[in-house]
Structure formats: structure tokens, C-alpha cells
Amino acid sequence: MSSSNTQQSGLDARATDSKVRLLGVVAWLSVAVALGMMFFVARVDDFNGPVQKIFYVHVPSAWLAYLSFAIVFVSSIAYLRTESRRWDLLAHSAAEIGVVFTSLVLITGPIWARPIWGTWWQWDARLTSTLVLWLVYVGYLLLRGLSTDPSRTGRLAAVVGIIGFINVPIVHYSVNWWRTLHPVGPTVADPVNNSGFEAPELATFFVALAAFTLLFAWLLAIRVRLGRLADDVDARALVVEGLRDPGPAARRSPSPAGSET
């Protein structure tokens, strides 16, 4: 590799660093704005009281869980078609973040349910299918963590990522398909339905949704970079152990990853 190419890749890495850092700043600022709106713009619900504000973090978390697993689904298909490591890494990263946000859905839901329903949990269709969704993707991550053959793991995980996505529409439409205790609306697609929302609440909801989505994009970017760093370490380890020719990727010095966190 020529020195000009090495310099160019260093410049590219620095430009990516700046973009990720900027995305992080914008994401956290929008989260701050959303939090401000939740407490100072959205009015307290007449019937359920302040606890209803959990809605503004619960629904965006559920949206991000759907989005994460949709990315896993698409990336898994792309990986099986191309065997390109970047799709595998994207699927793995999105699955990890999806599990984080599904966990937040499963934590904030019962915290809302305890004072409103008088119970932490009901085995109704929405709650049970969400728990199954969480278990499927925890299984996906365990599969990736326990296996020692990266290529085989990638293919197996891609199959799980594709099949697991079947549960996402089941979770979403469970409240329509079965009689459940979980409120039918509002949803991301139809926030006005059954909500009694007016302009301040709707604005808060959409700002929260946008802020969480920006936060997701930033988390995904830094998680993918972590995966690339792990790949660099593996490649370098093989070179040091004398098992592989270094090649251009291993010869270059990786930039210090993710200083933006």
C-alpha cells in the first residue's frame, strides 16, 4: 500500500470520527429537548396521572426494537447473499441494540402497569410476544458469543435473524388480533388513535421518537466501530501468530476507535 493511500485512509477514519461525534452531540441534545418537552410541554394525563409520561420513553423504545430487528433481518439476508463481513457486523450490532431497547420496553411497561393495572405482568398477547421477541434475540446473541467458527456462526445467526423477525409483526398486531389488556393505541403508526392526544402531547411524542432514533443511529455507529476494532485485533493476532500475511488492512494502524463516547 502506498503512503498516499495510507494517509487517505487515515483522513477517512478521522472524517468518520468527526461525523460520529457530531451525530452523538445532535442525538444527546435532542434527547435533552425531548426530556424537557416530556416534563414541561406535555400535560399530565387527567385519568392516569404523571405515570402516563412513561409512554414517551416506552413507545420510542418499542419502535427502536422493531427498527433494530428490521435491520438485523435485512442485513442477515444481505449477508447470506454476499457473505460480506460488513452485513454480518451490522446485523450483530443492531441485534445487540435491539435487545437493549426491548429490555427497556419490558422494564418500563411493568413499571407503568403496576400502578395502572395493579399488577406487574399479565400473560397477554402483547406482553408475551414481546418477551418471546426478547428471548429470540438474546438467543441470537448467545449463539454468536458461544460459537468459535465465525463463518458458520455468521450464517447460523443470519438464519435466526431472519426467522426471528417473524415475531415483530406478531408483537405489533397482537393487540388487534387478540383481546389483550395492553392498550390498543396509540402506536407509532397511529399516535392519535385512542390517545386523547392534543398538539403538545403529539409534538412531545414525535420529538421523543426522533431523539430516540438519532440516539439509536449513534449507538449503532459506535457499536459497528467496536466490531471493526475487534476484527482489526483478530487480524493482527493472526499476523503475530504467523498464521496470515498481514495485508493492507492489518498493516495500517487503526485509528483510536470511538473517542466520542
Partner 1 sequence: MSTTAWMVVAFLAVGVGIGSYLLSITARRRVLNRRLEELEGRSPHS
Q: How far is the CB of 149 from partner 1 (least distance, A)?
A: 21
136 near partner 1 (CB under 8 A): no
Size of the residue set binding partner 1 (CB under 8 A): 41
* DSSP summary character for residue 196: -
3-state secondary structure (DSSP) of residue 42: coil
Q: How far is the CB of 115 from partner 1 (least distance, A)?
A: 5
Q: Which of 195, 236, 244, 249 is the binder for partner 1 (CB under 8 A)?
A: 236
- Cα–Cα distance for residue pair 10/1, rounded to 1 Å: 13
Inter-residue long-range contacts of 54-57, CB under 8 Å, 24+ positions, other chains counted: 54/108, 54/111, 54/112, 55/112, 55/205, 56/204, 56/205, 56/208, 57/104, 57/108, 57/208, 57/212
Q: Which of 13, 37, 53, 71 is the binder for partner 1 (CB under 8 A)?
A: 53
- Closest among 128, 222, 257 to 182, alpha carbons compared: 128
Binding mask 189-228 for partner 1 (x = CB under 8 A): --------------------------x---x--xx--x--
Interacting residues toward partner 1 by CB under 8 A? 48-54, 57-58, 61, 97, 100, 103-104, 107-108, 111-112, 114-115, 215, 219, 222-223, 226, 229-230, 232-233, 236-237, 239-240, 246, 251, 253-254, 256-258, 261
